[in-house]
Structure 1
C-alpha cells in the first residue's frame, strides 16, 4: 500500500480543517493493535505506540506549537496495559479532557478477541503475555480483560478480530477511517459456517440453509459462492428470489433507521453449513446491493480463505 496515498488536504471539508483527527487504538494484548496502527499509518496517520498517558495531551498539542502545520493532521496512538503508568481511571480522565477540546476529532477503537484465539496467538509467536510473565497465559488474558473492561465501555468502535485475518482488519479500518470518510453507517456483510460458531460481533444473522445446496452437485462442490456456476445454481432456486426480494426491501428500509439512531457500524451475517457456497453467494449479492444503494460496505467470507488454504496444502502447493 502507498504510504503517501493520504494527504492532509484529503481528510474532509471546511469544519475539519482546524481539527486534528486522533484515533486512540487500545484493546487486549494479541488482538491486533500493532496491525491496526500499521494500517492507519498507511492511511496517512502518524502512528505512535505505547505512548505514556502523561504525554498524550502534549502529543496532540504539538500541532498548535508548529506554525507551519498542515491544515489538517491525523494521529493514531496505541495505548494498552504495556503503556507505562497505565490505569483505566487515568485513561478515562485523559479521554474526558480530550473529548472536550474543540480542536480535536477524537475516536477510540477497542480491539477484542476471544480468549482462545489470543492464547493461540501468543503460543504461535512464543511471546509472553504482558500480564502473565510468571503464570499461564490464560491467567494474564483474564486479568487484562477485567482491567480493560472500563476502557472498552468508552470505545466508539469495538472490533472483534477473532475470525479476522490481518487483511480483513486492514480493510475494515480503511473503510472506516479512509480520508474520504464522512459520517455514515459502515456495514459489514459476512458469510460463515454454522458448525464453526456464530460470528461474535454480528448484529443481524440470517440462516440460508433453506436454499438448495451446491455441495451435492459434483461439478459444483469444489467451487465457491463467488464462482458463476454456483451463483447461477443458487439463483435458479425459486426460494432465493422470494427471500432476496423481502430481504432487500427490509435492509434498504431499516439501515437508514439504524444510522438515524447514531449507530456507526452494523454487521449482517449469512450462515450455511460449510460457509462455502450459499452463504458466500448471498453475502456477495447483498454487499453489491448495499454498495449500489450508497452504503459503505465491508465484505468478509470467514471460512473461504481457511478452506482454500487447506485445499492448497492438500495439493502440495
Structure 2
C-alpha cells in the first residue's frame, strides 16, 4: 500500500461482550474517528481500500469486531496479521471480570450471544476461550470491571485523542496489592520492600502525594536506587515498543494499600520516564481513597 495509507491509523475494537465496546465506539466518534460497528472481519480489507481511495479525508478509522460475526469471527486473528504488513493497525481489547459481565447482562435482560441453551456464564466462558489468542496479541488492553461508562470514555479520550509527537504513551499506575493486581498492566513492580509509612502515626492519615510522606519513602535505603534501576531497565523496552509500533503501555507499582509508597514512587518514576525520547507519561492512582 502507498505511503498515504501507512500514515493513517486503523483501530480494531474487540473483546468480551458486555465489556463496553459500544461506549468505546461512541467515545472514538466524539474524538473524530470514523467508526464502523459490527463489521465482519472479511470486510476489514475493503475498508482499508476505501481509506486508500479517500486519502486524508478519513485519517483515522476504527472497526468494532466481535463474536456477533459468528463463524466469520474465527478468521480475525489471521486477517489482522495480514493487514499489519501494510497498515498501521492496533487492536484494542476490552475485558471485565466474569461476575461483572454477568451482572451487566442481567441488568439489560439480554442473553449472551454464545450462551445458547446454557447460562450467561456458559456464554462468557465460551467467549473467553475463543478470544484468548486475540487478547494476547492486543496492543491496548482495557479492563472495565471497575469503570462506569463515563470513566471508560475518559480512558478512551486519554488514550486516543489527537496524539502529539510522542511515539509511546505510558501510564504509570499506583495500586494496592490487597485489592488485586491491575489486569491491564504491562509491567508490575512491588514497593513493599520499603518501610510502610502506615506504621508512622503522624504519616498514617496522609498519602504519597503529601511531601512529608514522599520524603519519607524516597529517603529509605534502596528507594532511589530502585527508581533509577527500574527506569533504566524500562528505557530499552520502551524503545523496542516504539520500533514495533506499540503506542501504549502501562507500568504499575504496588504497595499494601495503594496509599503511601506506591503513590510516591509512581510520580518519581514518571518524572524519569518523561525524560526518555518519544515518550509521553500520565499518572493514575487506582486505589487512593479506598481506605
Using the TM superposition, give the Cα deviation of residue 299 of structure 1 relative to its aligned residue in structure 2, in angstroms: 2.2
Out of 38, 48, 57, which is 1:60 matched to?
A: 48
Matched, 1:73 2:59: yes
The residue that corresponds to 1:112 in the other structure is 95
Deviations 1:199-230 (A, max 9, x none): 23432322236334247536852x4333x3xx
Out of 88, 99, 102, which is 2:84 matched to?
A: 99
Matched, 1:151 2:139: no
1:61 match: secondary structure: helix
Matched, 1:254 2:237: no
- Given that 1:215 and 1:277 are in contact with CA atoms closer than 8 Å, whether structure 2 keeps it comes out as no
> Structure 1 pair 162/127, CA: closer, same or farther in 2 (3 Å)?
same
Using the TM superposition, give the Cα deviation of residue 142 of structure 1 relative to its aligned residue in structure 2, in angstroms: 0.6
Deviations 1:70-89 (A, max 9, x none): 3661111100012355331x
How high is the TM-score relative to the length of structure 1? 0.74
Count matched residues: 284
Out of 188, 210, 223, which is 2:171 matched to?
A: 188
Question: Aligned equivalents of 1:211 and 1:168: distance in 2?
Answer: 33
Structure 1, 269-278 or 73-82: larger mean CA deviation: 269-278
- Given that 2:93 and 2:138 are in contact with CA atoms closer than 8 Å, whether structure 1 keeps it comes out as yes
Matched, 1:26 2:14: yes
Question: Aligned equivalents of 1:248 and 1:290: distance in 2?
Answer: 10
Matched, 1:301 2:280: no
Out of 10, 14, 28, which is 1:40 matched to?
A: 28
> Structure 1 pair 86/216, CA: closer, same or farther in 2 (3 Å)?
farther
1:70 match: secondary structure: helix
The residue that corresponds to 1:4 in the other structure is none
- Given that 1:211 and 1:239 are in contact with CA atoms closer than 8 Å, whether structure 2 keeps it comes out as no
Matches within 5 A, 1:144-183: 144-164=127-147, 166=149, 169-170=152-153, 172-181=155-164
How high is the TM-score relative to the length of structure 2? 0.80
Unaligned runs of 5+ in 1: 1-13, 309-317
> Structure 1 pair 52/233, CA: closer, same or farther in 2 (3 Å)?
closer
Out of 127, 139, 142, which is 2:125 matched to?
A: 142
- Given that 1:52 and 1:86 are in contact with CA atoms closer than 8 Å, whether structure 2 keeps it comes out as yes
Unaligned runs of 5+ in 2: none
